[in-house]
Amino acid sequence: MNAIKEYKCPCCGGAISFDVESQNLKCPYCDTEFDIEALEDYADEIQSNESSPKWEAEVRSNSREDEADNLCTYSCKSCGGEIVTDSTTATTSCPFCGNPVILTGKLSSNLRPDLVIPFKFDKESAKTALKNHFKGKKLLPRSFKSEARLDEIKGVYVPFWLFSTDTTSKTRYRGTRISHWSDSEYIYTKTSYFSLIRGGNLNFTHIPVDGSKKMADNLMESLEPYNIDDAVDFEAAYLAGYFADRYDVSSEESILRANERIRQSIIDEFYKTTFGYVGTHCTSCNFDLLKSSVKYALLPVWLLTASYKDKNYIFAMNGQTGKFVGDLPMDIGALWRWFFAVFGIVSAIMFLILFGANH
Amino acid sequence: MKKLTVFTYFFVLILFSFSLLVCADEGYYYDEVGLINDRQIIHLTNTLRDFEKKRDAKLMIVVVNTTGNKTPVGFAFDHLFNTVGNTGNGIILLLAINEGKVVIDTRGSASKALTDQRADILFDLILYEHFVSGDYYNGFLSFIDMCDGYFAISHNDHAYSSIDSEISDTGSSISSMDNETDDNSFLHLCLISLGIGIAAAIITVLILRGQLKSVKKAKNASVYVNHGSFLLTEKRDVFLYSTITKIPRPQSNSSKSRKY
């Protein structure tokens, strides 16, 4: 099976990419829309009809892996240009002709994703969201909006592991009850300590854990939640026009993070049953997993990088829900101005109120 | 002539006694024990009456052998309440001889003039300077003078009467103590206002700074919990142990009492 797959328009031969609005494959040149399954069959047929005559002499294959550098090299089918990617890249675009390219070898057999959530927001939406992200931030440097340069904006399908499981757990909390009484001489305080034992079941579906080392985990978790009900069975055609990586963090490695989040959820849910106590905190939590399953999915993310005063800022938008995140720089001068302004005004008002009340 | 003289003498005596009765009935000075003589009683009563006219607050001095079933503080409170009522202004100085207690209680505007700190000063001056040595009469007069001075201070009255000269030494020390007290109150106001201002400023900048940070790790996976899957199968609250601590009760603020 060939490692590279390209989707060409049957009408005009242009490179086809996935269209967010119609949720289908669409040719940007002749505006013709195609059903994904139909185009998959067409593309497979084209590829299977391609002849690949064997030479007696040794030929260089389309792809080779340089294990020392962890790089892969491919030839673009449209222009013949050399495409160099790292070992995890699953889709890219030719740097010469811009043709979107899907490296199917990276998404086949045990590397084939189970699910994909198609993009629901396009590039323009991501740019608009970035501008809206700046609004209302009082401590953002004023020059950031004008001087910050948007270096790159790309739609990426990020590999995730989706963990589903039923849990049965036993959690212990320490709680206190306080009572007061007094006589003519003393005020008494009695503090009683209790061990609160809670057991039960709690089920989880599709907890996402980032499967790519390239993507910061806190950035990816900030984009949650994803609605996995909108996910569809994976077809390579959905990736056309976008970047994608295969996982390089295995599901075994991701289990730790999933367990961490499950544990905290169990503690939080059973804590709600410990009413009537003060200062309640968890002392132990043990849980078992039943009917657990893991799925490999590609979830849509718009990544934007901007530079400002020689520093790079990364922003991300959930390609399904439109949620936008990204840390912004702070104007120290503005911070102190706000501090002293609030301090002065509140102190003056409180002084006038207290002075009037006392006199 | 002799009869006229005798008649006049008895008439004056009756008038004098009547005036005593009137004074006693007016409730300014009541003495079961006989700490001062009659002449001192008259002078004291007149001074107390003048005080009431000037300060619109009744100043009473009550000396009893015992307060009976009531505590000295309760006795003073009830006596003052029964005399000036719920809305009146008054001060009572009670000496409970058998209990060995001196109580000062105030009502209405007198509470503002005779604060707890000032009452403490009064105790120190009249008790230790006069009562301990048995000089009750001068102790009572000093008490009246100082109450008048405190009323003047609280009303910002700069036109002091001749009483001021008698309290000039104590008055200046009182007013300087009061100035210190007022200075301390002003400092407290400033510190409280600055403290609240700093707290408000810190909270504000923390909120504004928080707006710039939107990247954070998820705390849990509660969003991915299946609805209706929560099932509590075990719930036990086990008592472990308890501790008991005690602190002394704070004193009441409205009345002040001292032993002497």
Tokens representing B97 are 């001889």
pLDDT score, position A143: 87
Smallest Cα distance from A353 to chain B, Å: 9
Show the tokens assigned to A62.
């389309």
A197, β-bridge pairs: A172, B236
pLDDT, average across residues B155-179: 48
pLDDT computed for residue B87 by the predictor: 80
Closest by Cβ to A265, choosing from B213, B216, B222: B222
Rounded distance between C-alpha atoms, residue B216 and residue A212, angstroms = 17
Is residue B163 pLDDT above 50, yes or no?
no
> What is the C-alpha to C-alpha distance for residues B93 and B71, in angstroms, rounded to an integer?
14
| Pair A339, B201: CB distance under 8 Å | yes
* Mean pLDDT for chain B overall: 80
Distance of CA B116 to CAs A29, B55, B95, B119, B231, Å? 91, 19, 18, 5, 61
Each residue of B142-162: pLDDT tens digit? 888 888 888 887 766 544 444
Are B232 and A273 in contact (CB < 8 Å)?
Answer: yes
Asked if the Cβ–Cβ distance from B240 to A193 is below 8 Å, we say yes
Q: A306 CB near a chain B CB, below 8 Å?
A: no
Give how far A245 is from chain B: nearest CA, Å: 22
Q: Using a CB-CB distance cutoff of 8 angstroms, which residues of chain A are in contact with residue B185?
A: 358
Q: What percent of chain B has pLDDT over 90?
A: 28
Say which residue, A41 or B41, is predicted with more confidence: B41
> Chain B within 8 Å of A343 (Cβ-Cβ)?
yes
pTM for the predicted model, two decimal places: 0.60
Check whether B70 has a pLDDT greater than 60: yes
Q: Is the pLDDT of residue B254 over 70?
A: no
Which residues does chain A have within 8 Å of residue B211's beta carbon, measured at their own beta carbons?
136-139
**Rounded distance between C-alpha atoms, residue A114 and residue B152, angstroms:** 90
DSSP state of A226: P
Greater pLDDT, A268 or B35: A268
Strands A71-75 and A82-86, bridge-based pairing: antiparallel
The whole-angstrom separation of Cα A34 and Cα B187 is 79
Tell me the per-residue pLDDT of B209-231, one tens digit each, with 9 for 90 and over. 999 999 999 999 999 999 999 99
Cα separation, A39 vs A41, whole angstroms: 5
pLDDT (0 to 100) of residue B22: 47
Which residues in A lie closer than 8 A to residue B241 (C-beta atoms)? 192-193
pLDDT at res. B149: 85
The tokens describing A74, both together, are: 């491919």
In chain A the first and final C-alpha atoms are separated, in Å, by 91
CB-based contact, B234 to chain A, within 8 Å: yes
The reply to whether B46 touches chain A by the CB within 8 Å rule is no
Q: Looking at residue A103, what is its pLDDT?
A: 72
Chain A residues inside the 8 Å CB shell of B217: 217-218, 221-222
Residue B111 confidence class, pLDDT cut points 50, 70, 90: confident
Q: Does residue B251 sit at the A interface (CB-CB below 8 Å)?
A: no
Where chain A has pLDDT below 50, the residues are 1-2, 51-68
CB-based contact, B210 to chain A, within 8 Å: no
| pLDDT band per the 50, 70, 90 thresholds, residue B199 | very high
Which residues of B, range 189-208, sit inside 8 Å of A by Cβ?
189-190, 192-194, 196-198, 200-202, 204-205, 208
